[in-house]
Structure 1
């Protein structure tokens, strides 16, 4: 998993380096009239950096504390309720917050009618991202489990007792309790390892989708010079980051990364939006949200992020938990999870009024 972390960090660094450069451009549309006050706006931006950083850190680390707080352990029913709530938040983020922004960017009158008016690029980018997430999810899990199965069971066969091998070649059936127990133990270990690897893939892909749109949100907020625009965003994005962190933290907990891996993932999630705001502050003098380049880049990235978040929330979070035998056999837990899902989606949808 060290290689995966390095690839993840490399991609994120490239994103941070390239995005501020590609959003620069000459304005082709008249900017909207708004009250500009750089000094007051800067105060709100600094407040946003602090509040979003703290909220994100608390949100992502809260489920991780299940290792020390038994009530938050993944085996407890409350963990299913928390994950359902957080999954609703992530689903609403994709549908209500990110995807509409992508549609607004890629259908802007500031873009040329051809080709942007000839084809629904937003839906196409979201679809491609969702399919790509499925492929990554499937191939990474399949490769990892196949490698583990070959290395484990291949070694088990080589270490099998000689009399068992002779009996098999002679056509006789021998019952070896120790061998049977060994294979059963190996199968259970393989199943557990396969599930663990899947959770790790889910955590990394989900964090990637979250980071992409978090960078864009941060840069947009940091580049704005209107206190009226920034003020409601501070509270809305603080809650947004907290709830989203809970969903990601739940996945990280189930993935059982080592302390170093947990620290890296939590740190990147917590810092992404504040770093984006800092970048936005730095490029505010040259940033133009109505330039074709900015609209296209933000639109494509937002659409891709929406596709990833929608896929991950429906397939890897909700479907996996709602089809879990523990929930299927517990009607009270099932009802509670449905209520938590609706609450999470509803609360995040309500925040769309301000963010």
Structure 2
């Protein structure tokens, strides 16, 4: 590697090579289990998952996403972009928080544009649709992107009957078919998919670099054990978000596709890392800049998603939570804190 792209030569460990190869398949299974469980629990009657478990996974996952943004993305971005290998403009400004802030604003404006475009389309076709958070509203009605939820008086009687069972009310398929013929569903579905693609972007690049690091890190055993839990919990947070999608039948594949894409990312990064382990230098100038910028960008995405899309949406603007008992609100908040705490603790090792 040339001197202008490297800060020292690569001296990567060759130990535990067979186990590193096996880790590809282990991480594929554990990551997939974490991301697919909430999706299957919300959509499959065969699993018969209790509502309490599903709700725990949803709130726990919100905490995981927020802790991932702060501990597993923003902190490494600071470290990478303040590396002594970097010179020039990289040493004259705190780029990690600046890039993260720009990412937050970028995601906000993208979501705002998508919401306005979808609302405009739906006003033209009329009828009832679901916004990108899965809440029913009538075309032409004013509704802030994260404003108060639709009241039960606005919901057709057929939907009320379907909501009598708590578990059915949590399952997207209980609502998807009523207006599946409405052209507005497709605009709503596209807005939801855009929101999830943004979240996937924030998670996937992080997972890719985790795999690359695992392929060459000398402390492989410790890091591998931590990453198994890390990817499982992070998958749980992503899966909880995917499980909340309200899509027409033609888009029913999207939650499963998102969960599978996440499950494949870290194994893919690990496989690439093993293939280039003789030349890849995670401490090089180029690697530090690329990983730092992507980590900072991803942290902004997950911060916006975790704080606005998940916490504000589930607690502040959720009419069900407004009317819930103090014990239920405390339980939900406790699940968020536990998820964040567990993920933050894993940051001690990875």
**TM-score above 0.5:** yes
Query: Residues 145 and 24 (structure 1 numbering): CA distance in 2 closer, same or farther, change over 3 Å?
Result: farther
Partner of 1:345: 340
Equivalent of residue 50 in structure 1, options 22, 25, 43: 25
Deviation at 1:256, TM superposition (A): 3.6
Contact 1:216 / 1:298 at 8 angstroms: preserved in 2? yes
User: Is 2:1 the partner of 1:27?
Assistant: no
Where does residue 211 of structure 1 map in the other structure? 204
Correspondences of 1:1-16 after superposition (within 5 Å): none
Asked if the contact 2:35–2:260 (Cα under 8 Å) also holds between the matched residues in 1, the reply is no
Tell me what 1:59 maps to.
34
Instruction: Work out which of the two has the higher radius of gyration on C-alpha atoms and give 1 or 2.
Output: 1
1: CA distance, partners of 2:198 / 2:3: 28
Partner of 2:125: 151
Please state whether the residue corresponding to 1:255 is helix, strand or coil.
coil
Q: Say if 1:30 and 1:57 are closer, same or farther in 2 by CA, change over 3 A.
A: closer
Pairwise CA distance, 1:115: 1.2
1:79-118 to structure 2, matched below 5 A, reads: 79-112=54-87, 114-118=88-92
Q: Which runs of 5+ in 2 are unaligned?
A: 128-154, 160-177
* SS in structure 1 of the partner of residue 16 of structure 2: helix
Task: Give the Cα–Cα distance (whole angstroms) in 2 for the partners of residues 42 and 85 of structure 1.
Answer: 34
Question: Which residue does 1:178 correspond to in 2?
Answer: none
Normalising by structure 1, we get a TM-score of: 0.75
Q: How far off is 1:315 after superposition?
A: 0.5
Aligned to 1:235: 225
Q: Indicate the structure with greater helix content.
A: 1
Question: What CA distance in whole angstroms lies between the structure 2 residues aligned with 1:325 and 1:78?
Answer: 21
Deviation of the 1:301 alpha carbon = 0.6
8 A Cα contact 1:199 1:251, kept in partner: no
Structure 2 CA distance for aligned equivalents of residues 199 and 327 of structure 1:
22
Give the C-alpha shift of residue 43 in structure 1: 2.6
Pick the aligned partner of 1:319 from 308, 312, 317: 312
Change (3 A) 1:249 1:109: same
Provide closer, same or farther for how the CA distance between residues 24 and 255 of structure 1 changes in structure 2, counting only shifts above 3 A: farther
Kindly report the root-mean-square deviation, in angstroms, between the aligned alpha carbons of the 2 structures: 3.0
**TM-score where L is the length of structure 2:** 0.76
Match of 2:290 among 297, 302, 318: 297
- 269, 285, 294: which one aligns with 2:262: 269
Secondary structure in 2 aligned to 1:289? coil
Gap runs ≥5 in structure 1 = 1-20, 154-180
Counterpart in the other structure of 1:255: 245
Query: Structure 2 residue aligned with 1:130, among 91, 104, 112?
Result: 104
| CA deviation after TM superposition for structure 1 residue 231, in Å | 1.1
1:68 matched to 2:68? The reply is: no
> Offset at 1:81?
2.9
Q: For the Cα contact (< 8 Å) 2:214–2:224, is it kept in 1?
A: no
Change (3 A) 1:203 1:242: same
In the alignment, the residues of structure 2 paired with residue 142 and residue 260 of structure 1 have an alpha-carbon distance, to the nearest angstrom, of 25
